Structure 1
Amino acid sequence: MRQLTEVQENPVLLLRKAHALLGSRLAVMSSFGAESALLLAFVAEADPDIKVLFLNTGKHFPQTLTYRQELADKLGLTNVEDIGPSPAQVSDRDPTGELWAFDPDACCNLRKVEPLQVASLPYEVLVTGRKRGQAATRATMTIVEERADSQQLRLNPLAFWSARDIQAEMQRRALPPHPLVAEGYLSIGCAPCTRPVDGQEDARSGRWSGLNKTECGIHIAAKPL
C-alpha cells in the first residue's frame, strides 16, 4: 500500500485515497472517546459511508454510548457498526461481570481483542485514532503500519498530531467533546478500568491505573512500514 505514502500529511486525502483504493476492504476503528471526534470528522469529510467499527464491550460509560450516537448523527456518518462479544461467550467466561477485577487481560481478550479479530477479517486496512503523544508506548508509531502477525495494515492519520493541535482543530470545527473530558478523563475506555488524570500525567495513565498494563491488545504486534 505504498500508494498511501504520498498523501500521509493530509488526513482527509489519506482517507479518501485509501477508500478509493480499497472500498469495502477499509474500515475505521473508533472508541468514540476523548479525541475521537476529529478523526471521525475527517472520515465524514472523506466519505461518510466509510465503515466505522465501534467496540461495544458492555462495560462502557453510559456517556460514551450516548456520545457515540450523537456524534455519528452530527457528522452524518452512515455506516457505523457496533461489534462486541457474543452473549454466550460472556455468560461462559464472565458470568458475574467481574472478570476485569481479577484478570483484566482476559477481560480485554473477551470483550475487545477477540471480537475485533473476527469483525476485522474482511478488511485489509484498519484506520485508528492513535497518536504518538498519548503515551510512551506509542512514541515511535508511524502513519502507515504493517501488522507483524498478519497482512493487515493500520493507518494512523493523527500519529503526529499533538493534543494541542487536536483541540484547536476540534474547536475550529465546533466538534463536541466527549462529556467526560470536562471531568478529567483524557483517555476513555471501559468504566471499571478508567479514571481521571491530572495535568502531570500522560493521557493514558488513567487506563488500568496501578496495573502493569498499558494496552488492551487490539493494537499490539504492529511494525512500521
Structure 2
Amino acid sequence: MADPARAADRIDTAPAFTPADAAALEARFAGVATADMLAALLPELAGRVALVSSFGAESAVLLHLVAAVDRQVPLIFINTQKMFGQTLAYRDELAERLGFVDLRVFRPDPYQLALKDQTSLRWSYDPDGCCALRKVEPLDRALGGFDAWISGRKGFQAKTRVALPRFEIEDGRLKINPLADWSKGDLDAYFAAHELPRHPLEAEGYPSIGCSPCTSKVRPGEDPRAGRWRGWDKTECGIHGKGGADDPVF
C-alpha cells in the first residue's frame, strides 16, 4: 500500500492542459467572436495566463482586445537587445495608452550572450542560434509559472500559419491564438474603428517587424513576412515551433 505522506510530497508533473483540452476549447468557442471569447476565457484563466507581444505592426489589435477585458493580465515583451528603437517607443506608448499594469520585460541571459555571441553578430551567420539565444530562452523563462499564454499569430501571415487553430498545446501549456482567423482587412478595420496608433515603421514598408538586423522592407506582392531573415531558409523565430504550427506575434 502506498504511503500517503510520501504521495503528498510528490510533485505533480502532469501537464496543466492536454490536446483534448485544446480541442474542447476549439469546439466551445467555434463561431464565437474574438472579443466574446476573451471575455469568457480570461476570467477563467486569471493568474494562469500571460499575453506575449512583440509590439509589432499589428500588435495593437490584440493588446486592445485583451485590455478591454482585463488590464491586469501580465504582458510579456522579449527585448532581444536587437530591437528597433521605434519598437521600444511604440511598446511604451501602447502599454501606457491601453492601461496595462503589469508589463514584464525579459532579456537574453548576459552570461550566455558573452559565451555564445561575443561579437553580437551571431545573427549574421547563425540566425537560428541567435533566435534561440535572444528569443526562445528568454520566453521560456518568462512563461515559467504560467499554464497558458496568448499569441498574436494570424493564419494569413505566412504559409506556415495556414489553418492555424485558436487553441493548441506546447509543452503542456495552452497557447491561445485569438486572431487566428482574422484577415488583414479585419485588422485594418479594427485599427480604424478604435483609432489605434500604427507602428511607425509600417508606413515605411515593414508589415512584419522583428529584430533590426533581420528585418527588411517588403516589396509589393511579397508575403508579409518576406522581409524577415531575407536570404535565409528561415521564416519563423522558433518560439512557436515546439508543439504545433511553426511560430509570432510575433
For 2:133 and 2:244, the matched residues in 1 are separated by 24
2:59 matches 1:36:
yes
Structure 2 length-normalised TM: 0.85
Structure 2 equivalent of residue 206 of structure 1: 227
Q: Residue 82 of structure 2: which of 59, 78, 88 is its match?
A: 59
* C-alpha distance after superposition, 1:30-64 (max 9, x if no partner): 00000000000001001011111101000000000
2:52 matches 1:45:
no
**Native 8 Å contact 2:76 2:104 kept in 1:** yes
2:121 matches 1:122:
no
Unmatched segments (≥5 aa) in structure 2: 1-20, 246-250
* C-alpha distance after superposition, 1:188-219 (max 9, x if no partner): 00000000102201111110011011111001
Pairs within 5 Å for 1:124-163: 124-147=147-170, 150-163=171-184
2:48 matches 1:22:
no
Deviation, 1:11, is 2.1
* C-alpha distance after superposition, 1:126-170 (max 9, x if no partner): 1101000000000121111122xx111111010010011101111
Structure 1 equivalent of residue 190 of structure 2: 169
Instruction: Return structure 1 stretches of 4+ with deviation > 6 angstroms.
Output: none
Deviation, 1:84, is 1.7
For 2:83 and 2:207, the matched residues in 1 are separated by 15
2:236 matches 1:222:
no
Shift of the 4–135 alpha-carbon distance from structure 1 to 2, 3 Å rule, reads closer
Deviation, 1:19, is 2.1
For 2:102 and 2:39, the matched residues in 1 are separated by 15
**Native 8 Å contact 1:4 1:17 kept in 2:** no
What is the count of residue pairs matched by the alignment? 222
CA RMSD for the aligned pairs?
1.4
Structure 1 equivalent of residue 208 of structure 2: 187
For 1:18 and 1:59, the matched residues in 2 are separated by 34
Q: Percent identical across equivalent pairs? A: 45
Deviation, 1:3, is 4.9
Structure whose residues are more often helix by fraction: 1
